Structure 1
Amino acid sequence: MQLIFDGHNDVLLRLWENAQKGADPIAEFVEGTDKGHIDAPRARKGGLAGGFCAMFIPPKEDYPAREVDQNGHYSVRMVGPRDQAEALKIALEMTDIASRLEQAGGLSICRSTADIRAAMDSGRFAAVLHIEGCEPIAKDLSNLETFHAKGLRSLGPVWSRHNLFGHGVPFAFPSSPDTGPGLTDAGFELIKACDRLGIMIDLAHITEQGFWDVERISTAPLVATHSNAHALTPISRNLTDRQLDAIRERKGIAGLNYATTMLRPDGLENADTPLSDMVRHIDHMVDRMGIDCVALGSDFDGATIPAAIGDAAGNQALVEALRCAGYGEDDLAKLCRENWLRLLKTVWREA
C-alpha cells in the first residue's frame, strides 16, 4: 500500500457543520461514520496518512444549483463572504475541533515535515492546518501570527469568491481562469507576510491574474493544492499549460483534484466518472511539469468524486490505476506523498 499525504480536504468543515446540528465531531472522526469522505478508520483503510485540512468559511446563503444549458455550459453565481468577525469565530471553532481531535489521539497537528513523518509512522492522521479563503484574517494581518502559533502552515488568499485580499475564479464551464483582477493591495501584503513566516500559499481558487501576481511577488514555490489541467477539462478552476509551466519552473506542485467537474471532458458533476479521467490528468501534468511537481489534492468532503473511489477508504483504487498505467513504485511514492514533503521542507525552510 502506498501511503498518501493529500493536498486538500474539507473534513473540518464537515465536522463543524455537523457539530452545529448537535453531533460530536470527535466521535465522528475517531470512531467513524457513514457521513462524508474522511474519518480515522476509513483513512487507515485507504492509506490516507494525512493532508492539508482546510478551514473554509461557508457563506450565509447557499450557492445556487449548477444549471447546465443545452450546450453543457454553466456558471455558478458567486455568493459574498461573511464579515471578518464572524469568519474569525468559525475558523477558531474549527481550530478547536482540530485541537480536541489531537488531544483524543485522532490526529496530529503538524508544523514540520518531521511531525508529518512521525504521525504517519505512529498511524495518526497527519494534519496540516490550512485556511481556504482568508476572510478570518484581519486586513492589517494582526491575527495572522496568532493562527501561525496555533499551527496554520498553509493558506489560500481566496476561495471562488472575492474578498478583501483578492479575486477568486467562479465555477464556470467552459471558461478560462482569466476571469478578473488578481490580488488587492492587502493581498500583496498577505503574500509578503506568508513568505516571511513560511506559510505555504495555495493558488487553487485564485484568478489567473492573481496567480501571476503571486508569481511576481513571492519567492516561494508556486502551489495549487487541488487543481487539474485546463487543456483536458476547460473549467475555470483548472490550470492552463502556461500556469503549469510556471509551477515547474519554481519547483512547485499541482495536486490532482478528484472533483468530477474538474476531471471530465464535459465538466459535469457525475460520480460515474472513470478512473482513466484521473490518470489522463496526471499524465498531462507529469508530461508538462515532470514527476516531481505533481501530487494528489483530493478535495474529500468538498466535492463529488468518482464512485470507483467513493471515500478515503477507496484511495488505493487510484494508486492501482496509476500502477496499471505504468507508474513504478518510486514514482507512485512521489505522487502520493514524497513530493508534498519535499515542497513543504522548502517552504517551511527546514534544514
Structure 2
Amino acid sequence: MTMIPVFDGHNDFLLRLLRAPEKRGATWLEGDGSGHLDLPRMRKGGFAGGFFAIYIPSPPEDRPDDRDDLMDNPPYALDLPRELDLGYSQTVALAMAGHLLWMERSSEGRFRICRTASEVRETITRGAIAAIMHMEGAEAIDPDLDSLYSFHAMGLRSIGPVWSRPTAFGHGVPFVFPGTPDTGPGLTDAGKRLVKTCNELRVMIDLSHLNEKGFDDVAKLSDAPLVATHSNAHAVTPSTRNLTDRQLSMIAESGGMVGLNFATVFLRPDGRRSSDMTLEPMLRHLDHLIGILGEDHVGMGSDFDGAAIPDPITDVSGLPALTEAMRVHGYSEELVRKLCLDNWLGLLDRTFRD
C-alpha cells in the first residue's frame, strides 16, 4: 500500500533547537538520530506538515527532577509552575520563531511556513513539508495584545491561551491522574479579548491544556470551530489533560477537531508514562473520539519531541506503523487518510477562510 501522508496537530521540535542552537544544522538538516523529528526522518515517515509550537520552558528551578518518575507511578498530582515574566517569555519566543524561519530558509524549498489553508495544500501537493507557526501558551503575548499582531506578521496562525501553568489570559489543567479538567476559574478579561482578536485575525485557538471553565468561555465567545490540537478521551484515560464527552460533543457541534496525542501518559488507561506499550490504547482513543466527533473531525496530534511516545512508533519515521495498525483494526483506506491528513486540511479551510 502507498504511504499515507500525515499532518500533525502538535510538535515541540523548536524546543530542541532552542536548547542546542549550535547543533541546529545537524539536528534539522542532517538528522543526528536524537529526539523524534528531523527533516530526513520526516520525509521517510510521510510527515506532510503540522503545527510547530513556540513553547516557553519554565526556569530549571520550577521543574522538579522527579517529574518523570512520579508520572510513571500513578496516582500523581504535580504542582504547576508559576506564571512566567513577559520579558523573559518574549525573548524566548522570538528566538524560537527565528529558528522556525531559519528552518524554512535552510531547507531549500523542502519546508515552508504557511499562512493560509491554500498555502498548506499547495505545499503538500508539491511534496514539501507545510508548517504552521503555533504558540503553546500565550506567555509571550502582552495583555494589550500588541505583540499578537507582531507575531501574526511573522506567521503565527494558531495559539493556545495557556500551557497548563497560568497566564494573563487563563488557567490550565495541572498534571493529575486520575483527575478531571474542571480545575479552576475561566478566562480572564484579557483572555476574552484574546479570543475575539484571534477570531478577527483568523488565528486558530487551541484548547489543549486549557481547563474546563476556560474551554466553556472560548466556546461561548468564539465564532471559529473549536480545536484541541493534541488531546485524548477522558473516558478512556482519566487524565486532567484529556477531554470529557461533554467537551467532545461541543467540539463536534462547532465543526471542530481533536488531534490524537501520542503521549503515553494520556493514552494508557493506567496513566503511566512508560513507553512499553502496544498501539491498542491509541486505537481505543480513536474509536471513542470518532464515536462522538464523527469520522471528519479527528486527526493526529503527536506531541513529538515533547513527550514519551509508544515504542512501536519510536519517532516520526514510525508513522507507517500507526497507519498499518489502523488498517488492521478495520479502518478503511479512506478513513485512515481522513485521520492522517484530510480532516486537518478541512479544519484549516473552515478556520482560516482564505
Q: TM-score, normalised by structure 1?
A: 0.96
> Letter of the aligned partner of 2:353 in structure 1?
R
Q: Which residue number corresponds to residue 81 of structure 1?
A: 83
- CA distance in 2: counterparts of 1:70 and 1:161, whole angstroms: 21
For structure 2, the residue ranges without an aligned partner over 5 or more in a row are none
The answer on whether the counterparts of 2:54 and 2:133 sit within 8 Å (CA) in structure 1 is: yes
> Letter of the aligned partner of 1:216 in structure 2?
K
Q: 2:293 aligns with which of 278, 289, 292?
A: 289
The answer on whether the counterparts of 1:26 and 1:101 sit within 8 Å (CA) in structure 2 is: no
Shift in Å, 1:70: 11
The answer on whether the counterparts of 1:63 and 1:78 sit within 8 Å (CA) in structure 2 is: no
Q: Deviations over 1:59-79 (max 9, x none)?
A: 012422235499830011111
Q: Which residue number corresponds to residue 37 of structure 1?
A: 36
**Cα distance 1:71–1:111, how it changes in 2: closer, same or farther (>3 A)?**
closer
Q: Which residue number corresponds to residue 99 of structure 2?
A: 97
For the residue of structure 1 that corresponds to 2:296, the secondary structure is helix
Q: Which residue number corresponds to residue 160 of structure 1?
A: 164
Shift in Å, 1:117: 2.1
Q: TM-score, normalised by structure 2?
A: 0.95
- CA distance in 1: counterparts of 2:210 and 2:146, whole angstroms: 23
Shift in Å, 1:119: 2.1
> Letter of the aligned partner of 2:46 in structure 1?
G
Q: 1:252 aligns with which of 236, 249, 256?
A: 256
What pairs with 1:130-279 in structure 2 (closer than 5 Å)?
130-279=134-283
> Letter of the aligned partner of 1:213 in structure 2?
D
Q: Which moved more, 1:246-255 or 1:98-107?
A: 98-107
Q: Deviations over 1:87-145 (max 9, x none)?
A: 11111111111111111125210111222122223332211000000000011001111
**Cα distance 1:279–1:213, how it changes in 2: closer, same or farther (>3 A)?**
same
Shift in Å, 1:26: 3.4
The answer on whether the counterparts of 1:32 and 1:41 sit within 8 Å (CA) in structure 2 is: yes
The answer on whether the counterparts of 1:201 and 1:223 sit within 8 Å (CA) in structure 2 is: yes
Q: Which residue number corresponds to residue 335 of structure 1?
A: 339
> Letter of the aligned partner of 2:309 in structure 1?
I
Q: Which residue number corresponds to residue 131 of structure 2?
A: 127
Shift in Å, 1:27: 3.5
For the residue of structure 2 that corresponds to 1:221, the secondary structure is coil
For the residue of structure 1 that corresponds to 2:186, the secondary structure is coil
> Which 4+ residue blocks in structure 1 deviate beyond 4 angstroms?
67-71
**Cα distance 1:245–1:110, how it changes in 2: closer, same or farther (>3 A)?**
same
> Letter of the aligned partner of 2:206 in structure 1?
D
Q: Which residue number corresponds to residue 63 of structure 1?
A: 63
**Cα distance 1:122–1:26, how it changes in 2: closer, same or farther (>3 A)?**
farther
What pairs with 1:307-318 in structure 2 (closer than 5 Å)?
307-318=311-322
> Letter of the aligned partner of 1:167 in structure 2?
H
- CA distance in 1: counterparts of 2:232 and 2:262, whole angstroms: 9
Q: Which moved more, 1:97-106 or 1:160-169?
A: 97-106
Identity among equivalent pairs (%) = 51
Q: Which moved more, 1:120-129 or 1:248-257?
A: 120-129
Corresponding pairs, count: 347
